[in-house]
Structure 1
Amino acid sequence: MTRKFLLLMCCVIASTTTSFSQKTTKPNIILIMVDDMGYSDIGSYGSEIKTPTLDKLAAEGIRFKEFYNNSICAPTRASLMTGQYPHRAGIGYFDINLGLPPYQGYLNKESLTLAEVLKQNGYSTLMSGKWHLGKDSLCWPNQRGFDKFYGFIPGASNFFDIGDYGQAPPVILVKNNQKEKLKPGEYLTDKITDNAIGFLKEQQKENKPFFLYVAFNAPHWPLQALPEDIAKYKGRYDIGWDSLRAERLKRQKELGILSDNQHIAVRDKDVPLWANLTYDQKHLWKSKMEVYAAMIDRVDQSITRILSTLKELKKDDNTLIVFISDNGAQGGFSNSNRKPQRNTGPIGTPGSYDYQEQNWAYVSNTPHRQYKNNMHEGGISSPFIAWYPKLIKAGTIVQGTAHLIDLAPTFYALAGATYPQKFNGITTNNLVGKSLLPVLNGTATVTPREEPIFWERAGNRAVRKGKWKIVSTYPAYAWELYDLETDRGETTDVAGKFPDVVNDLSAQYFKWAERTGVVDYEKIKPTQPMVIPGQ
C-alpha cells in the first residue's frame, strides 16, 4: 500500500468524520406556542400560576422584556411559520379569503415554512397542536413540510368530547392527513403532548436532528380544564382582579421584568371594582380565573413531560427550546351581569363555553394596555423564553425588542440551514427578520435592526422603532405616539410634542404597506365582520 494511497484514505476518513460530526451536532429545536395567554400569566413574568418548568427554563435561559406577535391567531402563525409579515404570506386578515393575494387566508407558496426549509437541510419536522393557516387540505401541515402532524386545523377547539353536555359537534383532529375524533375522557392538551412525545420517540430511530413545533390551544376559550388542576386554584382568586394585579406588578419588579422607571397602563375604566360586585358575581368571576389558571398549569405539566422525554432520549443537552404566546389575553365584554353564552355545564366542564373576558384579561396583560386584536402593547406583547445552555447564559433578562419574523433567521442560522431563492420552481420571498443569535449569545441586549417593526390588521396599525411607537386603532386614522423607554404602559400620547417623529414613522409605515401588500381596510373589510368571542 503506497504512502500516497494511505494519505488519500486518511483524508477521506477525516472528511467523512467531519461531515458526520457536523450533521449530528446540529441542534434540535423545539418551538412552543400557547394561545391567548397574557404577558404576566407565567411565574417568571409575574404570575401566581404554578409554572415551575417554564420558570426553570427561564432561570436557566433568557427572557425578553419585549417580544412581539401580530395580536391575533392566524396572522401571528403566518409570521411564525414563514418569517414574513402576514400579508406577504397571504394571511393579512385571518384564515378567510378576502379576494386579494395578501388576504387569501392561507399560506402562499412563495413563503416557505420553517418545516420546508429545515427539512431540506436535514431535519426531521414534527408538529402537534393548532395549525390555523388554511382549511383546505392542500394547506395542511403535512403538505407544508411537516413529516408528522397531529392536531386540529381551524382556530379553536373544545378540550373535551362534549358527550352528553349539549349539541356541539365532536372534536375533529387530524393525524398525518387522516381525521380522527377525541374520545370521551381525553383532554386535548394531554393529547397534543402525547403525540409530541410519540413523535420524538419515533424520531429517535433517525440519524438526524429534529424540529418540533408544539402549538397548544390553551388557554384559549372555551374554559375547560381537568378537575384536579382546577382544585389547585380554589380560593386563590377570591381576592379579585384589583388585588391580583397589584401582586403581579410587585412580582414583576422583583423579577426584573418591570423597571422602576416604567409607567404602567392605567386602570381599565371598563373593569368594575371587585369590591362593588355582589357575592354571586364574585363567585362566577373567580371560577373563570381558577379554570384559566388550571389550563396554563396543565401546559406547564406537559412541557415537563416533553423535557423528561428529551432527557430520556439523551437529547436535552443539544436542544434549543423557545416559548411564546400568539397574542395577548382576550378583552371584550366587561359587564359583570352578562349571562354566560352557550353553556350547558359549569365553567371548566365539557359543557362550558365561557372565556376569561376583559376583567381578568386586564390582569393577564399586566403592565400593558389593551387586549388581543389591538396594537397597543397588551395585544402584541408576549413572554419570550429561550433555553439552550450551550449558547445562552443562565438567568439572563434583556430588552430584546424582537418579533416573530426574527425566529426563522435565528433557527436557520443556528441550524446552518440555507434558505433557498427558489423552491419547487417558485421564487421565494426574502426573509425580512433579524437573527436573534447576538442577543441569545450575549453579544447584544437588543435585536440589531435598522428598519422598524410594522403591524396592520383590520385597520389597526402600529410601528415600533427604537424607543418610539406610533399606533392607531380602527376606525380612527390619527396616530398616537409613545416613548416606550419609560412608558410601556402607553399612558401619555406625545404625538403633539414630537410631530417630526410621527411624520417619519408614518411615512415609513406607508412605504412598508405598499411593498407588503397592505390594503386600506375600508376597501376590503368583510360585509359580515369576523366575530371574535370577547371582542
Structure 2
Amino acid sequence: MGLKTGLGSSDKKSALNVIYIVLDDVGYSALGCFGSEIETPNIDSLAENGLRYNNFNVTPLCSPTRACLLTGRNCHSVGVGFITEIDWGPQYPNKRGRISDTAATLAEILKLNGMATYMIGKWHLVPGHEAASSGPFENWPLSKGFQRYYGFLLAQTDQYAPDLVYDNHRVQRPDISNYHLSEDLVDKTLEFLTDHISVTPDRPFFLYLAFGAQHEPHQVPREFIEKYKGVYDKGWDEIRKERFERQKGLGVIPPYTELVERNPGIKPWVELKTKEKELFIKFQQTYAGFLTHTDQQIGRLLYFLKSKNKLDDTIVVLLSDNGGSQEGNWNGSINDSAYFNGIEESVDTMFAHIDEIGGPSTSSNYPKGWAQVCNTPFKYYKQNTFFGGTHVPLIIQCPQSIPDPGSIRSQFYHAIDITPTILDLLGIEAPGVYEGVPQMPLHGLSMLDTFTEPHVPSKRKTQYFEMIGHRAIWQDGWVAVTYHETGIPYNEDHWELYNVNKDFSQKYNLAKKYPRKLKELQAIWWEEAKRYGVLPLSDNPYRKGYEGLQEGRTTFIFYPGMAHLPTSAAPQITLSSYSITVPIFRATRTAEGVLIAHGNHSSGYTLYIKDNYLFYEYNYVGTVYKMQSSVEVPVDYSTIRFEFKKEMLNQGMGILYINGQQVGTLYMPRTLPFLISTEGLDIGRDRLTAVGTNYPVAEFPFSGQIERAVIELQDDQKDNQFLNKRDSIYINLNGTIIYL
C-alpha cells in the first residue's frame, strides 16, 4: 500500500518524516522553555520553531503513556494500565503488560503505508517475564511495527552499563572510554538515519527516540554536574518560586495562576540541616546536568537533520511520559532498589558517598522536594492523578504547517491524541483490520487544527485518569480527582474538585462548594471507566500472585553462556527459603571467578571463587553480608551449594557447602522483601555493574567450567500471613512493600 496524501496536500507534504522524542520523568517546569533555570537550548529551539502546548496531559506512569502515545487509544483498553514488569494475570485484561493486537501501533500503520520505522531507547511495553533473550518476541519492538531497534526493554537501566538489546538480541555496550547511554542512543540514531538517507533518501521515516533520561539512575559526567554548582544553594522553595514567576513571564501558565503549597511531608528548605542541604543540592545539580546532557544529544540529532536538509521535512514531537518522580523518597537515593523495597536511606549514609553521586557507583535519584519543583506549579508527582503526575510539556515542530512558530496553545489534549494528529497530517487512515485482526477505533482526536488556529476549541471534552486506585476525570475545564489510600474501599475515597479554567494549578478545592458538580463528574468517571476497560479496579498488583513464566515454578536450571537475564524474568527468591547448586570443574588452583550473580552495586547477591576459596556476598542496599569458606575449593570436579533458610519474614541463615560439607554460615538479619535488584542475573560472570565488592577484574568470569546452576525455591511464602493484613504493611504505589 502506498503512502496516501491528505488535506489537499502535495506529495512533498505527504513525504514528511515523523520523530517522537520521549523524555522520562520530566515534569512540567523542567525545560527552559517551560520556565526552568536548567539549560535546554536545543529543546528550546524546537519550541521557538514550533508550538508549546501548556494544557497537555499523559498518564502518570511510564508504560501506560507509551501505549497511549503509540496506539492513539487509552491505556487500559489496550492492556497497559500499569508498568509492564508486572503482568496482573487474565483476570485483569487491562493490565497485562503488552499492547493488544486489536490496537496497531503508529509504527505498524506507517510501515503499512510505506514508511521506514526505527526505534531507539526505552521500550517498556513488554511483560517483564518476556524480556529474557529467549523471548517470546511478540511484544518486542520489531513485532510492533519497528524495522530496526536499539535500546533497552524495561523501565530503567544503568547509563554507564546498560542492558542493551539490538533488534531481537542482547549486545554488550560499545567498548569506548567515557561511555554514556544517551550518547550511544543518539549515535545509533544517526547510524540508522545515515543508512536510510544514503540509500532511500526519498522514503519518509518514522523515528521513535525514547531516552532513559530523566528516569533514575541520574548519572552524567561530572562536568555537567559542576555546571550547576551554586545554582541550587537557595533551595527548593526559592527555585520553585522563581520557576513560577518565569512561567508567567513566558506565558506557559495563565496570569491568574497561583502557586500551590508544598506537598505534604516536604520540609521548608530553611528547616533542613546543613548536611541535608548539601546532599539535596548535589542531587538536584545531578538532575539538572543530566537534562542538559540529554539536550545536547537532542541537539546532535537536530544538527544532523539540518545538515542533511531533512529538518524542514520532519515533524518533531517532544514530550515527557509523566511528571517528576517521587521515587527518590524524602531524602533522595543512591541505591535504586531501596525505594522498591520500602527502605528509606539515611542522609548520613548517603552523605559519605556525596562525591560519587552521578557516577557509575551510585544509582541516584533526587528527593521529593525537588520532584515538586520539577512539577511547578502543580501538586504531587508521578504515579498520582493530580496535575503533578499528568501535566507535562509538549512541543511540536512542523515547519510546513505552523504559521506562527514560537506560540503557545492552551487546548486540553492527551497522549492518545498525538498519533491521530500525525495520521491526519499525513492523510493516513487507521486500518479497520490489521493482519487479520479487527481493530478497536482510535480514542484520540486530531489536534491538527490547533496548528493553524490558535484559539480553536479543543475537540476533547472528557478524559479519565486511573493509576493503582488514584483516579481523576477532566471535563470541559472541571477536574474531579482523588488520592487513593491502598486498601481503603473505593467508595470511601475523598474526592476533590477543581475548576482548572480559573485555577490552573489545582490550588482551590471546590468539593464542598459544588457537591452536585462533584457527583456529576464522579458518575462520568465510572461511565468512562466502563467504556475504556478500566474495571476491575485494584490497588495492589503484588497480591495477585501471577508471575507469568515463573508461575508455579520452583526449580530453575541455567547454563553457562546464557545471556544476561533481567530481574523481571529471574527467579523470585525474596521472602522464601531457597538453594543454589553449581557443579563445577577446576583444572588448576588458578581457576576462579563468578559462578552466579544477580544484582548491582545497590543490591543483590554473588557466589564466586577467589584465591581458591568460595565466597558469598549479599548486598542489602549498601549493607554487605559476606562469608568465606573455611576450606579451599578442591581442584577437579566439585559441587558448590548455597542454602538460605528463612526465619520469620525476611531474615535467616545462609549456609555454604562444598561437596556436601558445610564450610560456612552467615546469619542475615535482613534480606530484601520484594526486589533483589533492578539489574539481572548472570551465570559464570557478573555483567553490567558488579555486585561483588572483592572482584579483581571487571565481570570476573569463571576460568573453570560450570555444568549448570540450579535454583530451587521452597514453598514457605505461604507462611507470610502478614501479607494479607492491611494494618501490618503499606503497599506503595508501585505495588511494593513498605513496613510500618
Shared fold by TM > 0.5? yes
Aligned to 1:61: 50
SS in 2 for 1:33: strand
- Return closer, same or farther for 1:69/1:20 CA change in 2, 3 Å cut-off: closer
CA contact (8 A) 1:121 1:418 kept: no
Output the amino acid matched with 1:509. W
> Which residue type is aligned with residue 117 of structure 1?
I
- Is 1:469 the equivalent of 2:483? no
In structure 2, which of residues 245, 253, 256 is the aligned counterpart of residue 250 of structure 1?
245
1:351-395 alpha-carbon deviations (Å, 9 max, x no partner): 111201201011110000110000000000110111112111212
SS in 2 for 1:132: coil
**Is the Cα contact below 8 Å between 1:152 and 1:174 reproduced in 2?**
yes
Instruction: Choose the corresponding residue for 1:519, options 535, 557, 562.
Output: 535
How far does the alpha carbon of each residue in 1:498-522 deviate from its partner, in whole angstroms, 9 at most, with x for none? 2332222222221221122222434
**The one of 462, 465, 468 aligned to 1:455:** 465
Answer yes or no: is 1:300 the counterpart of 2:290.
no
Of Structure 1 and Structure 2, the greater strand share is in 2
More moved, 212-221 vs 523-532: 523-532
Shift of the alpha carbon at 1:465? 1.0
Within the alignment, does 1:134 sit opposite 2:126 as a pair? Answer: yes
Which residue of the other structure, out of 462, 467, 480, is the alignment partner of 2:496? 480
Which residue among 495, 498, 506 is the counterpart of 2:522? 506
Match of 1:438 in 2: 449
State the match for 1:182 in structure 2: 173
Cα displacement string for residues 66-91 of structure 1 (whole angstroms, at most 9, x for unaligned residues)? 11010011111111111111111111
CA distance in structure 2 between the partners assigned to 1:21 and 1:138 by the alignment? 37
| Correspondence for 1:228 among 220, 223, 230 | 223
Decide whether aligned partners of structure 1 residues 146 and 499 sit closer, same or farther in structure 2, where only a CA change above 3 A counts: same
Q: Find 1:411's aligned residue among 422, 432, 453.
A: 422
Counterparts of 2:14 and 2:296 in 1: how far apart (Å)? 29
Higher helix proportion (structure 1 or 2):
1
AA aligned to 1:73 is C
Work out whether residues 358 and 534 of structure 1, in 8 Å CA contact, stay in contact via their aligned partners in 2: no
Q: In structure 2, how many angstroms separate the alpha carbons of the residues matched to 1:46 and 1:532? A: 33
Map 1:368-387 onto structure 2 (within 5 A): 368-387=378-397
For residues 125-164 of structure 1, the aligned pairs below 5 Å read 125-135=117-127, 136=130, 137-161=137-161
Which residue matches 2:613?
Answer: none
> Deviation at 1:338?
4.2
- Runs of 4+ that moved beyond 6 A: 340-345, 532-535
Q: Within 5 A, what are the aligned runs for 1:14-93?
A: 22=11, 25-93=14-82
CA distance in 1, matches of 2:173, 2:457: 43
Q: Could you give the per-residue CA deviations for residues 229-269 of structure 1, whole angstroms, max 9, x where no partner exists?
A: 11211221111111111111111111011222122211234
Distance between the aligned counterparts of 2:267 and 2:540, measured in 1?
36
Q: Is the 8 A contact 2:409 2:454 kept in 1?
A: no
TM-score normalized with structure 2 length:
0.66
Highest CA radius of gyration, 1 or 2?
2
Partner of 1:8: none
CA distance in structure 2 between the aligned counterparts of 1:357 and 1:111, rounded to whole angstroms: 37
Residues 1:98 and 2:88 are matched in the alignment: yes
Separation in 2, partners of 1:446, 1:65: 14
Higher mean displacement: 427-436 or 484-493:
484-493
Q: What is the total number of aligned residue pairs between the two structures? A: 507
Q: Give a deviation string over 1:257-309, Cα, whole Å, max 9, x none.
A: 12221222112342222222222221111110111001110111111111111
CA contact (8 A) 2:22 2:320 kept: yes
What is the one-letter code of the residue matched to 1:263?
E
* Cα RMSD (Å): 2.3
CA distance in 1, matches of 2:513, 2:266: 30
Letter of the 1:372 counterpart: K
**Structure 2 residue aligned with 1:200:** 193
Match of 2:412 in 1: 401
Please identify, of 495-504 and 248-257, the stretch whose mean Cα deviation from structure 2 is larger: 495-504
Of 357, 373, 387, which aligns to 1:347?
Answer: 357
| Structure-1 residue corresponding to 2:110 | 118
Distance in 1 (CA, whole Å) between partners of 2:376 and 2:285 is 18
Q: Taking structure 1 as the reference length, what is the TM-score of the superposition? A: 0.90
Which structure 1 segments of 5+ residues have no match? 1-18, 162-170
Aligned counterparts of 1:375 and 1:295: Cα–Cα separation in 2? 26
| Counterpart-to-counterpart distance in 2, 1:437 and 1:510 | 30
Aligned to 1:490: 506
Deviation at 1:21, TM superposition (A): 6.4
Distance in 2, Cα, partners of 1:291 & 1:398: 31
3-state DSSP of counterpart to 1:32? strand
